[in-house]
Structure 1
């Protein structure tokens, strides 16, 4: 297929309305064969490029073509099912936008499997919009503003292979910062917000331990290093599925606190931030935040999630309201 007039995923989601057609080239991140209510097969697809991710459906009448060898060959459903894996393949798609129950849906009419040499899969991997070099600089400047023993502890913990893993890792499989460098971006946003809030309360005379607050913010999602992995696309690990990132993060932190002899009082204060940062037990926190530092980090974490959801949402009606976001429990106003 010709690359002319192909759109980025972000352009499709932001600018295309119901009834509009679209054409794009991206990475087929996932492809799941399902049955509709009439027992007809269809494909539930996730297509991504460097600008974002599109969830779409290819119904039973959609056409699939193998164009990897330069000439397109029609693929039957049986042939697709017999292929080892059609996900993580570069694809070209033709589709149309529709609306169902006030939600925009993306229907793919034609899918072309493309040559990986001409369209390298890694070129479609979504990354943080913030340059990683800038985020690294910001991270180490924040660490440098801490006093000991916390500064030395953070320098020891965020070293070697753990730092290399941390700066690449996603913050989620979907919903927010689910891309390369996403964990670093989210961590910095939470930490900067938390520190600003902490300073405002310090000026009021409240007793806020800024070093504990900073360390807790930088470490609040450290468990995601074991909860998620990334191989072109973010994926949940077995540990992430059956244990979750909060207890995993507390375990990682306590292991390093003992390894680097962090004093028990400081370790308890930081550990409480990590274990309580989701704010409510129904959100996955084993305990509720009960120190000012933990309350601030929890609020900053929730705010960053909601701001990300608002930014990623698109208006679907004349009131400029987005589709209902189940996790955020609201529609977003995109005036």
Structure 2
């Protein structure tokens, strides 16, 4: 039986003939020096590794290089097998799609809530910020980058790695953060909302696009954490310039800006996890923990979506996770 929907591939020894979106393409070599491609091909949330061996490459290297690019949809035929307990496909043939042959939107995984609803919700949260300087900084950055902020993923893989993932991850974190703020009066809600809104904002600069994102040059050299802090500083300089020559922040304003930047710079929690500094305020600790909670819930939910009930399943990079049985 030939399967023509990538989402239906679920076991070895299946034959596939259909379309898929290339989310990753890496040219490599075997131990013998033969070229082959490691592809990640997806349809919606379903993503599988696909091997293209040298028999499909030799003699047509430039053609293959042109076709097998991230963000392209291809038609391919192949057979499934397992390698290290993971399902994969070996391609027997492939070609580019013809004009109007497929609809790109059918192959993109998107946020589970409508983008416009998430935008309105986030904008409402930003309006709740009481400190006028923090509110202006956060609102200006978000408004400037609203379109990519609403379409980019929150990660290349693992968590919220889908269209609108950055916006969805941000809103989900603020929902948790506001709840924490209500329960603990000592928490400054301004820094919770502002820090969460901007903590991953520069993912739009760290990644190349929102369809099949790879790391950009500034993403590799600087990274989103430092770049997000830089966005804050740039807005502060613009605000000072508008105030007039030799304008300076007040002591309280400067401290507020430092705390906002600290929430951004410390949100990975530890130096060995990529944070330039470790959390040194209550709000910074909360944002780091909420980031961990939301990212892991998303990783586990997506990792177990197609897993059998009553079994342990490997969810990268968290290890084996158990999916409980649900009584009928």
What stretches of structure 2 of length at least 5 have no aligned partner? Answer: 241-248
TM-score calculated relative to the size of structure 1: 0.81
1:216-272 alpha-carbon deviations (Å, 9 max, x no partner): 111111222221131642121111101111111111112213333571121111111
Match of 1:151 among 114, 135, 139: 135
CA distance in 1, matches of 2:291, 2:72: 34
CA 114–130 in structure 1, closer or farther in 2 if over 3 Å, else same: same
> Are 2:165 and 1:173 equivalent residues in the alignment?
no
Using the alignment, how far apart are the partners of 1:101 and 1:165 within structure 2?
Answer: 37
Query: Comparing 291-300 with 120-129, which one deviates more in the overlay?
Result: 120-129
Q: What is the match of residue 286 of structure 1?
A: 276
Q: What is the root-mean-square deviation of aligned Cα atoms in Å?
A: 2.7
| Structure-to-structure mapping, 1:14-29, within 5 angstroms | 16-29=10-23
Query: CA offset at residue 19 of structure 1?
Result: 3.4
Provide the rounded CA distance (Å) in 2 between the counterparts of 1:101 and 1:158: 43
Alignment-derived partner of residue 332 in structure 1: 321
Equivalent residue, structure 2, for 1:102: 85
60 and 83 in structure 1: CA distance in 2 versus 1, 3 angstrom threshold: closer
Going from structure 1 to structure 2, the CA distance change for 1:156 and 1:231 (only over 3 Å counts) comes to: closer
| Structure 2 Cα separation of the partners of residues 175 and 142 of structure 1 | 27
Q: Is residue 92 of structure 1 aligned with residue 82 of structure 2?
A: no
The question of 1:34 aligning with 2:28 is answered yes
Normalising by structure 2, what TM-score? Answer: 0.83
Aligned match of 2:285 in 281, 284, 295?
295
The CA distance in 2 between the partners of 1:84 and 1:111, in whole Å, is: 12
Evaluate the alpha carbon distance shift between residue 318 and residue 296 of structure 1 in structure 2; reply closer, same or farther with a 3 A threshold. closer
- The structure 2 residue matched to 1:185, chosen from 168, 189, 201, is 168
1:81 and 2:62 correspond: yes
State the number of aligned residues.
308
Distance in 2, Cα, partners of 1:259 & 1:145: 23
Task: Mark the runs of 5 or more structure 1 residues left unpaired by the alignment.
Answer: 64-75
Q: Conserved in 1, the CA contact under 8 Å of 2:158 and 2:316?
A: no
- Report deviation, 1:311: 1.7
After superposition, residues 206-285 of structure 1 pair within 5 angstroms as 207-230=186-209, 232-260=211-239, 263-285=253-275
* Contact 1:98–1:105, Cα closer than 8 Å, also in 2: yes
Residues 8 and 51, structure 1, Cα contact 8 Å, conserved in 2: no
CA deviation after TM superposition for structure 1 residue 123, in Å: 5.4
Q: CA deviation at 1:122?
A: 5.9
What secondary structure is seen at the aligned counterpart in 1 of 2:138?
A: helix
Among 24, 39, 44, the residue aligned to 2:38: 44
